[in-house]
Amino acid sequence: MAGPRPVCPRPPRGRAVRREVAALDLGTNNCRLLIARPHPEGFQVVDAFSRVVRLGEGVSATGRLSPEAMDRTLEALRICAAKLARRRVAQVRSVATEACRRASNCAEFVARVYAETGLALDIISPAEEARLAVLGCQTLIEPAARQTLVFDIGGGSTEVVLIERCTLPSAGEDGLAMVGWVSVPWGVVSLAETEAADGGSAAARMAAFSRMAARVAAHLGGLSARLGADVQLLGTSGTVTTLASLHMGLARYERRLVDGAWMETADLRALSHRLAGASPAERAGIPGIGPERAELVVAGCAILEALLEASHARRLRVADRGIREGILRSLLARHGGA
């Protein structure tokens, strides 16, 4: 499952194939594609696509992907396949995560995706998901950091990885090694589905927020016990980038300002609490959230709350990068930058 798969239709014979690679990340909530070419600094993105598909909607309750969710997702995947075919991409890796791991009808969905789009989905393990997320954002790890806690808040699960700078045989050339890891079985979609969308009052909404944070915290004890006082927090997810953008007061999202930014965790927690206490209508009216994220953002804030409480870190670095970038780096390294 780990290797890149071809995308159909294949490039016509006799026509040159561009030196481009692609990464498709089909998560519980989003379908995202990056197409890139080699660059002296790693890679240069030449095309991208992102759409909220909510593939995992209802999976935690039924154990199955719904027909409506599959149809929404296939519509997005057809757009991705068309982009790949148009650019004649030679190497692509398409991965799917927690929603597909949980769903009993996953094999049926994967077969339908291949039949209708030519995309061969790899259902990756939580460990592989965590590895790719770390690979995608590890350039944001501070050279002086002895420990870094990298987390990726997904739609169906949250991957949390402890990185240490050491001389272990498992460490890479940069001296970094994964020394601890946990896959928390809660993401923004699955966690939001455990609570009513609106408790009717700010107090009831905050109580629901606390219950969600406690569900996540129950899975972090073993890892948090290993953290030192100076651990660097590195967060990659829509939750973190959205909160950073809101805190900066940006009229519209600007990746160049958000990616790599440092945030005070006290500011993030204060903003999270304000959002959690607000009504769905109030959250929906906030630019950068809107009706589509009004429910999910609170679940994401609850996951972040548990992580911040477990780490006791005073600052967090924001990463607008992750699994897709990790896939691209893997593909380019495997083929010698070609």
pLDDT tens digit sequence for 224-270: 889 988 899 999 999 999 999 999 999 899 999 999 999 999 999 99
Shared-domain flag, residues 284 and 199: yes
Shared-domain flag, residues 28 and 120: yes
Does residue 83 sit within a domain?
A: yes
Whether the pLDDT of residue 17 is over 60: the answer is no
Shared-domain flag, residues 201 and 263: yes
**What's the total number of domains in the chain?**
2
- pLDDT tier at 199 (50, 70, 90 boundaries)? confident
Whether the pLDDT of residue 13 is over 50: the answer is no
Q: Reading across the β-sheet that carries 18-26, which strands appear in turn? A: 42-52, 30-39, 18-26, 89-96, 121-123
| Across 13-17, 107-111, 248-252, least confident range | 13-17
Q: Where are the alpha helices (DSSP H) in the chain?
A: 59-62, 67-87, 98-102, 106-117, 126-137, 188-192, 202-217, 221-224, 238-248, 255-258, 265-277, 280-284, 290-293, 296-311, 323-334
Does residue 24 sit within a domain?
A: yes
Does residue 8 sit within a domain?
A: no
Mean pLDDT of 93-121: 97
Shared-domain flag, residues 200 and 99: no
Shared-domain flag, residues 105 and 149: no
Shared-domain flag, residues 46 and 69: yes
Average pLDDT over the chain, rounded to an integer: 90
DSSP readout, 277-315? HS-HHHHHTSTTTHHHHTTHHHHHHHHHHHHHHHH--SE
Tell me which residue of 52, 136, 49 sits closest to 86, measured CA to CA.
49
Name the 3-class secondary structure at 215. Answer: helix
Does residue 330 sit within a domain?
A: no
- Encode 238-252: b = buried (16+ Cβ within 10 Å), e = exposed: bbbbbbbbbbeeeee
Shared-domain flag, residues 82 and 139: no
- Going by C-beta distance under 8 Å and a sequence separation of 6 or more, which residues neighbour residue 123? 1, 95, 96, 97, 100, 101, 106, 110
Task: Determine the Cα–Cα distance for residues 244 and 247; give it in Å rounded to an integer.
Answer: 5
Shared-domain flag, residues 99 and 67: yes
Domain extent at residue 44: 18-124
Residue 38 bridge partners (DSSP) = 43
CATH number at residue 276: 3.30.420.150
What percent of the chain clears pLDDT 90, i.e. is strictly above it?
A: 78
- Going by C-beta distance under 8 Å and a sequence separation of 6 or more, which residues neighbour residue 198? 205, 279, 280
Shared-domain flag, residues 118 and 230: no
Asked if 320 and 258 count as a contact pair (C-beta separation under 8 A), the reply is yes
Does residue 48 sit within a domain?
A: yes
Q: Considering the entire predicted model, what is its pTM?
A: 0.88
Q: How many CA atoms lie within 13 A of 246 on its CB side?
A: 23
